[in-house]
Every structure is written in C-alpha cells, then in structure tokens.
C-alpha cells in the first residue's frame, strides 16, 4: 500500500493530537482539585424505603413498618486505582443521612484529581473524635441532635436510629420498635466499611462524579445474624428496644454489609 505525503502528514497530525489529549488528561490527573457527590438511596431488600406507609417482611417472619431511618457517616477515605489513599479532612468528615429529613446527599470538596475505585468510611462517630469533647464538635452535635441521632452528651451519639412498628405470628397485635446503634461503656460499635465502585469515579477540575449508594435497612435485623424483635420485648409486652448488649454487637456487624454502590455518574447529580 502506498502512502501519499498528505496521508503521512494526516497520520502524524492525528498522532500528535492523541498524544496531546493524553498529555492533557495526565496533567489533569496529576494536578488540581475537584469534587465528588455521594448519594444514598435507602431501601429494604431491594424495595424503596417508604416511611410509615409500606410494610416489609423479613426472613424472621416479622413484618415491619418503618417510621425512621437515619444514620451518621464519617471519616471518608477515597482510594485511587493505584492504591493511593486520600483521607478527607477529618474536621469536615461527619454527615447525617436521614430518610425522614430527606438528607440523602454528601458533597466532598477539594479532592485531588484522580481515578477513584474504592471508598472507605465509618458508620458512626469514632472514639477519637468523641473524646475531643463537646465544644470541639458542637456544630455537628447540633445537626445530629436535630435529627434524633443523640442521647445525652455523656451517652453520646446514635450511629443509627431505626424505628417503627412490627407484627409477628408469635405476638398479638402491632408493637413498636426502636433500634439505636451506638457505642457505650461496654463496647465500641463504630464500624468501618469499604466499598468497591463498579466503575471508576474520575475526579477532575472539570469533572465531578456522583456515586450512587444503596443502603439496605433490612440488613440491620436480617443480615448475617438474624435478630428477632419479638425477643427484645419489654416486660409489659408493648414494645421492643435494642440499644445495647449482644444483640447490638451483632447488629453492628450486620450493618457493615448494609451499603453497596449501584453505579457512578461521570459528571454530576443524576440518580
């Protein structure tokens, strides 16, 4: 096959253009900061979570009507495709997600440009932060308190507030329930979770990916360990509450599998 001078120049021009594009992309990765949005879509075993309306039956044969599902996420670490870890500013790394208040989105800012494939985060408030004292975290405490995610300061934060009513074949009538995951003097129930992204989140100065999480509330009671609300009834037989003890430790373990990433949008906030 013969090439004319024009063909040769065309090939050289195209090669130069592609090299330039690659160089520009590499320079964007190497320098500058961008943003990432994390969107949390609350669900129950694959169904949309609708507060106070729908009922959901778990494998324990207990049917739940959920009135509140809120939780604290913290200490975000973004992991690049080469294994480099970017630790998000700790002072800005505590957030409330609340189905009740329609708080579903977290915006992370000033993130080094790069290709991110994993995210690690905490469920709850770590002891290091809590022990800094009330004054050091008053701003976030007020946000958590406004969303029913605190006890008193001495007893600390509720990492998860999961409440509603339930029925079961072993009990007569509808009963209320409360599950509050938090740390106490006996156990530290703060947990770290790592998720792998199904496709790369490209952060650039001109690109802000949106990561769409699915949070499955069913995992709280119906995860690797099955927790029956009927076995946590008060002496009067009117309600069930889990706020400590071995059941809460099992729940804290269950919640480590509560989050998965469904998809990543390259440029913004479509969900």
pLDDT in tens, 162-206: 999 999 999 999 999 999 999 988 899 999 999 999 999 999 999
pLDDT tens-place string over residues 12-26: 444 444 444 444 454
| Vertex 100: Cα angle to 247 and 170 (nearest 5) | 40
Strands 175-181 and 239-242: parallel
31-64 tens-digit pLDDT: 799 999 999 999 999 999 999 999 999 999 999 9
Concatenating the DSSP letter of every residue in the chain gives: ----HHHHHHHHHHHHHHHHHHHHHHHHHHS-EEEEEEEEEEEETTEEP-TTT--EE-TTS-EEEEEEEEEEEEEEEEEETTS-EEEPPGGG-EEEEETTTTB-EEEEEEEESEEEEEEEEEES--HHHHTT-TGGGHHHHHHHHHTT-B--TTT-B-SEEEEEEEE-TTSSS-EEEEEEE---SS----EEEEEEEEEEEEE-SS---EEEEEEETTHHHHSSSB--GGGGB-TTSSEEEESSHHHHHHHHHHGGGSEEEEEEESSS---
This prediction's pTM: 0.88
Q: Are 115 and 40 in contact (CB under 8 A)?
A: no
Residue 130 sits at the vertex; the CA angle it makes with 126 and 133, to the nearest 5 degrees, is 165
Grade residue 270 by pLDDT with cuts at 50, 70 and 90. low
């Amino acid at each position: 096959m013969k090439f004319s001078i024009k063909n040769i120049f065309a090939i050289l021009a195209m090669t130069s253009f592609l090299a330039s594009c690659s160089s520009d992309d590499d320079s964007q990765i190497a320098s500058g900061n961008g943003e990432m949005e994390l969107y949390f879509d609350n669900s129950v075993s694959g169904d949309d979570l609708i507060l106070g309306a729908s009922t959901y039956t778990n494998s324990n044969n207990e049917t739940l009507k959920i009135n509140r599902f809120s939780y604290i996420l913290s200490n975000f670490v973004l992991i690049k495709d080469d294994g480099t870890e970017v630790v998000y500013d700790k002072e800005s790394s505590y957030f409330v997600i609340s189905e009740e208040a329609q708080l579903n989105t977290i915006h992370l800012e000033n993130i080094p440009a790069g290709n991110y494939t994993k995210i690690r985060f905490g469920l709850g408030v770590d002891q290091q932060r809590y022990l800094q004292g009330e004054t050091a975290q008053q701003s976030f405490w007020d946000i958590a308190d406004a969303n029913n995610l605190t006890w008193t300061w001495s007893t600390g934060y509720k990492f998860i507030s999961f409440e509603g009513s339930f029925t079961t074949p072993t009990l007569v009538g509808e009963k209320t329930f409360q599950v509050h995951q938090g740390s106490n003097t006996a156990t530290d129930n703060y947990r770290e979770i790592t998720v792998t992204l199904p496709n790369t989140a490209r952060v650039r100065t001109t690109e802000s990916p949106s990561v769409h999480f699915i949070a499955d509330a069913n995992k709280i009671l119906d995860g690797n360990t099955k927790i029956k609300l009927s076995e946590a009834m008060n002496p009067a037989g009117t309600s069930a509450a889990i706020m400590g003890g071995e059941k809460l430790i099992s729940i804290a373990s269950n919640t480590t599998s509560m989050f998965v990433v469904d998809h990543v949008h390259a440029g913004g906030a479509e969900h």
